[in-house]
Amino acid sequence: MKPERVAADRLRKFSIAVFEAAGAPRGHAERATDVLIWASLRGVDTHGIRNLKRYYLDASGVGRRDGKIELDAELTLDHESPTTAAFNAHSGLALSLSVQAMECAIEKARESGVGVVTVRNSTHFGAAGYYASMAVEHDMLGFASCGYLFPHGQAKSVLPFGGILPMLSTNPLAMACPADKMPPYVLDMSTSIVPVNRIELYEEEAKPVPSDWALDTNGDPTAKADQVHSVNPLGGAITFGGHKGYGLAIASWILTGLLSGAWRTDAERARVLGDTPERKHGFSQEGIAHSFAAIRIDQFGDPQVFRRGMDAMIHAINDSPPAEGFEQVQVPGQGAHATEQERRREGIPINAATMAALRSLAEEYGVPL
């Protein structure tokens, strides 16, 4: 069945109204919605409006064992310096609170040249690339990451290299920086071979998954999305190169789960995810954790020269000969930028399952769809 196209502004108004009806303050509703619409516009449908119901308004394990998000929670400071801040999200709406955390990193960079911010005790923050991209308009480099470690394992999570117990979240990393006349560079990647959200999307659309993505409960490769038990790290769990994706996943977790203070000896059990909330070697992770950073380009030279240099690099890559089956060699962010222009004109495609979820929200919260 062909997806229905819906204008971005219509989806935005609906999402804001639903968040507000569910108990989110207006500012949280607007910021959270902007993250979802950004992802949907850029073709990152795994992290877009399809998650409004399942990840943010239903109990689905997005940061605590009962899945509950405190929609009106605000960030509070644990630690602060002129260039850093560490926040507690109090099980709040990470889509909104992460925007505020990145704004803090940008403000610290504006004042001191660099800003690094962590958030603990949080929930699912959607597309990491959104937060990294916030730095671009300020002539800054932006960075965002998210991480979780399941010491006792968790189904549909990522295998460590050489292991058979899925222990890691997909632990994404994102980086963005401005160009001049070309679209900004935006890298947004999971450290697993594929985000779990994409496997869920394949299951939703009754599509087989590539056999190198995931394993079933017997540890065998599977093409059936509904039988996925563990996901391979980037490069594979036992194949050459898999140690690199696994290493990046651990690095992401150090920058998020460990640096933020989420990995702790006194974690609240209701906030610990995984097969069991029990500690391992004295520690467990309280909520999902994030990190954000912004770096002022003018601390290293003329931003205009930097932007023009980015353009030259992008043109050089674009001019290089494409492999068979490719029209052009591109840099991260180019394809998504083109998709965004097309979807702003033609509307965001909404598949049948997502449309059903939106209709359900409309009925539940009394918001016209």
Nearest alpha carbon to residue 193 among 246, 144, 261: 246
**Given the DSSP bridges, would you call strands 140-147 and 157-158 parallel, antiparallel or unpaired?**
unpaired
Average of per-residue pLDDT across 354-359: 95
| Per-residue confidence (pLDDT) for residue 36, from 0 to 100 | 98
User: CA–CA separation, 44 vs 252, rounded Å?
Assistant: 21
- Report the 10 Å Cβ neighbour count for 300: 11
Backbone angles phi, psi at 89, to 5 degrees: -90, -10
CB 332 within 8 A of CB 186: yes
User: CA–CA separation, 369 vs 364, rounded Å?
Assistant: 12
| Per-residue confidence (pLDDT) for residue 61, from 0 to 100 | 52
Residues 75-121: tens digit of each pLDDT: 999 999 999 999 999 999 999 999 999 999 999 999 999 999 999 99
Average of per-residue pLDDT across 129-137: 98
Q: Residue 356: which H helix or E strand, with range?
A: helix 352-365
Q: Report whether pLDDT(64) > 70.
A: no
Residues 296-324: tens digit of each pLDDT: 999 999 999 999 999 999 999 999 999 99
Task: Give the single-character DSSP code of 92.
Answer: B
| Per-residue confidence (pLDDT) for residue 211, from 0 to 100 | 85
The string of DSSP letters for 288-342 reads EEEEEEEEEGGGSS-HHHHHHHHHHHHHHHHHSPPPTT-S----TTHHHHHHHHH
| Per-residue confidence (pLDDT) for residue 363, from 0 to 100 | 97
| Dihedral angle of Cα 299, 76, 146, 296, to the nearest 10 degrees | -10
Write down the domain spans for the chain: 4-365
CB 292 within 8 A of CB 163: no
Model confidence band, residue 59 (pLDDT cutoffs 50, 70, 90): low
Reported CATH class of domain 4-365: alpha beta
Q: Which amino acid is at 196?
A: V
Average of per-residue pLDDT across 175-180: 98
